[in-house]
Amino acid sequence: MTAPRIGTVMWPMQSWPEAGETWRRAEECGFDTAWVYDHTAWRGTTPWYDAFTTLAAAAAVTSRVRLGTLVTSPNFRHPVPTAHAIKTVDHISGGRLTVGIGAGGTARTSDAGILGGPEWTARERADRFAEWVELLDLVLRGPETTFEGAHYCAREVVSEPGCVQRPRVPFVIAGNGPRGMRLAARYGTVWVTNGSKDGAAPEDAVRDQLAALREACEAEGRDPGDLRHLLLTGFTDEPWIESADAFDDLAGRYAELGITDIALHWPRPGTPWEADMKVFEAVGAAHATER
């Protein structure tokens, strides 16, 4: 059994250059990946800086750690300008970008609310998600894209010079329902879950989700072993950063289920993501040594 890759979710709340020091520290801690939520705000938190601008700056002050969004959604972005930002950050980072994509939430609880307009139904969010991913994939692969969808369009979009990573940057797809899992099987390099499902115990939820994901891969004619599985921690009551031993125990149990990647939130005092920084750094360093 291979040890999971360990990443951290950063908080885009610091002004530069203080934020740059935090991103450099994440790399120095030994984390494989450093992610950022892509929102205009998060649960009423301010300040909250733009994800792709932050990633471009982070790419300029780091050299090894992979960078990414966790996740971008159709709530307030169109695939064409998003693809333009993605290509730019991939070049600045030297091919270290991964893009997470999800369906987003309702207008009242998400970035879509600030744009006005009617609230999307669950069906419309799912439809937009599928179309958004399809168009983003086409534009990033290029060389030229014209697309007429029910929700998104593109006219003769030229993709050159394209991404550093070919045929495009990797996608991390967030989706626990049948349609989301089919999208992950069709387009994803990684599938992501936060381990919660209808009040089920987290490990049981992940076990069930991975079984459903295998079925989705088989339906798409894809080898389930080609898809990595990322667990975004911090949304259950599991003591991930209580101690290094607690982390190792949980990471081992989830690795046995099939989790290949784990993301921990950067410690944030006074929030549910508060943690002992010494423990957090020790986890990053220990698992960097294993790789």
Answer whether 120's CB lies under 8 Å from 106's CB: yes
Per DSSP, the three-state class of 197 is coil
The domain of 91 spans 5-290
* CA–CA separation, 101 and 253 (whole Å): 26
Q: What is 145-168 written as a DSSP string?
A: EEEE-SS-EEEEEE-TT--SSSSS
Half-sphere exposure of 26 (CA within 13 A, CB side): 30
Nearest to 40 by CA among 28, 29, 55, 51: 51
Q: Give, rounded to a whole angstrom, the gap between the first and last alpha carbons of the chain.
A: 13
| Residuewise pLDDT in 10s, the chain (291 residues) | 688 999 999 999 999 999 999 999 999 999 999 999 998 887 777 899 999 999 999 999 999 999 999 999 898 999 999 999 999 999 999 999 999 999 987 655 557 677 777 788 889 999 999 999 999 999 999 999 999 999 999 999 999 999 999 999 999 999 999 999 999 999 999 999 999 878 889 999 999 999 999 999 999 999 999 999 999 999 999 999 999 999 999 999 999 999 999 999 999 999 889 999 999 999 999 888 544
Answer whether 191's CB lies under 8 Å from 141's CB: no
Q: What's the 3-state SS for 168-206?
A: CCCEEEECCCHHHHHHHHHHCCEEEECCCCCCCCHHHHH
Number of domains making up the chain: 1
Question: Which CATH number is 204's domain given?
Answer: 3.20.20.30
Cβ-based burial of 69 (10 A; exposed 0-12, middle 13-18, buried ≥19): buried
Half-sphere exposure of 5 (CA within 13 A, CB side): 13
pLDDT of 25 reads 97
Longest alpha-carbon distance in the chain: 54
pLDDT of 291 reads 44
